[in-house]
């Protein structure tokens, strides 16, 4: 049996898959990818995201608004997210977060929309999927502010590229950290350093496809089956064998996403 593969963050509704989405999903299955979570970036896209999850037993989904589009979601309330997020195939709230690299939405708008997501994740007891870029201190403060509100949130820091200090603050609050194909990039020593330091029971992997194609497939469109290369890079970095390592990553995945049925 080949090692288990799970892609914890895919964007299957993306237009780059419009022509061949079912073939992309079939290729993932053929490569051994047993579970995928397809991510909502805008509420207007949620029906399409949910439809993909509803049509495929092995695909789950999230509901939320990416921080890039926070300015278009100022009316989005926790109540709306709770209503949409009740569906059993919805296992995550997000992706939400802070992105000061692109700054497509005002920072205050990003904070406001993040807080609505956090409240919904808490109410539903579903995983808060967080995107954070060049906002380490503000994100650490937000997470600590949320932690004071009650029971611990189930937190996933997706496609982690931020600093060691934020990683430590998040892990202290129980967060899991997800690493993408960036880990295979030549110039990503900082990300590899975090991946080396993260406790082994808090790590999962993802592609974030169609973005971030891992080495050695640069120049091609990224697909979920490329999670094999991401996982291999992480296991090599941590000195883990394929069987032992893939079982560990799968176990971590099902702990941070308890709503996903095991194969």
Query: What residues make contact with Zn ion under the rule CB under 5 A?
Result: 131
Query: Which tokens go with 1?
Result: 């049996």
Q: Compute the Cα dihedral for 242, 159, 209, 77 and give only its sign.
A: positive
Question: In terms of C-beta density within 10 A (0-12 exposed, 13-18 middle, 19 or more buried), how is residue 259 classed?
Answer: middle
Closer residue to Zn ion, CB minimum distance, 131 or 169 = 131
Give the largest CA-CA distance in the chain. 49
Nearer to Zn ion, 25 or 156 (CB): 156
Q: Which residues contact 173 (CB under 8 A, 6 or more apart)?
A: 143, 144, 147, 152, 153, 155
Which residue lies nearest Zn ion, judged by its C-beta?
131
Hunting for tokens 């497509």 — which residue is that? 104
Q: Nearer to Zn ion by C-beta: 90 or 159?
A: 159
* Contact between residue 249 and residue 205 where contact means Cβ atoms under 8 Å apart: yes
Q: How far is the CB of 11 from Zn ion (least distance, A)?
A: 9
CB closer to Zn ion out of 122 and 131: 131
Q: Which of 137, 149, 152, 76 is nearest to 107 (CA)?
A: 137
Give the number of other CB atoms < 10 A from CB of residue 172. 12
Q: Are 37 and 8 in contact (CB under 8 A)?
A: yes
Residue 30 Cβ vs Zn ion, minimum distance, rounded to whole Å: 26
Q: Which is nearer to Zn ion, 100 or 238 (CB)?
A: 100
Shortest Cβ 160–Zn ion spacing (Å): 10
Minimum CB distance to Zn ion smaller for 131 or for 202: 131
Of 94 and 140, which CB lies nearer to Zn ion in the complex structure?
94
Residue 211 Cβ, how far from Zn ion at the closest point, in Å? 8
Residue 33: CB minimum distance to Zn ion, A: 19
- State which residue, 132 or 252, has the beta carbon closest to Zn ion: 132
CB of 162 to Zn ion, least distance (A): 12
Please state the closest distance from residue 237 (CB atom) to Zn ion, in A: 21
Q: Is the peptide bond before 95 cis (omega within 30 degrees of 0)?
A: yes
CA atoms within a 13 Å half-sphere pointing along the CA-CB vector of 34: 16
Backbone conformation region of residue 42, classed left if phi is above 0, alpha if psi is from -120 to 50, else beta: beta
- Smallest gap from residue 149 Cβ to Zn ion (A): 24
Which residues, in sequence order, are CB contacts of 246 under 8 Å at separation 6+? Answer: 3, 4, 5, 231, 235
């Amino acid at each position: 049996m080949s090692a288990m593969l799970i892609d914890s963050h895919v964007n299957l509704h993306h237009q780059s898959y419009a022509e061949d989405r079912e073939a992309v999903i079939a290729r993932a299955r053929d490569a051994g990818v047993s579970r995928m979570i397809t991510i909502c970036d805008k509420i207007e896209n949620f029906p399409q995201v949910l439809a993909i999850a509803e049509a495929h037993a092995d695909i789950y989904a999230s509901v939320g608004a990416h921080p890039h589009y926070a300015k278009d979601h100022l009316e989005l309330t926790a109540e709306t997210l709770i209503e949409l997020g009740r569906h059993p195939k919805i296992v995550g709230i997000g992706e939400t977060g802070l992105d000061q690299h692109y700054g497509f939405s005002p920072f205050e708008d990003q904070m406001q929309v993040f807080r609505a997501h956090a409240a919904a994740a808490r109410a539903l007891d579903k995983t808060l999927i967080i995107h954070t870029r060049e906002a380490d201190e503000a994100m650490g403060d937000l997470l600590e502010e949320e932690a004071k509100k009650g029971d611990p949130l189930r937190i996933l820091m997706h496609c982690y590229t931020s600093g060691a200090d934020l990683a430590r603050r998040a892990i202290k609050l129980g967060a899991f950290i997800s690493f993408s194909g960036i880990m295979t990039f030549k110039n990503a020593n900082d990300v590899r350093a975090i991946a080396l330091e993260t406790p082994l029971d808090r790590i999962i992997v993802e592609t974030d496809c169609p973005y971030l194609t891992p080495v050695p497939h640069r120049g091609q469109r990224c697909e979920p089956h490329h999670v094999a290369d991401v996982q291999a890079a992480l296991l090599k970095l941590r000195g883990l064998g394929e069987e032992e390592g893939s079982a560990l990553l799968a176990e971590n995945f099902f702990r941070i996403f308890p709503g996903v049925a095991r194969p």
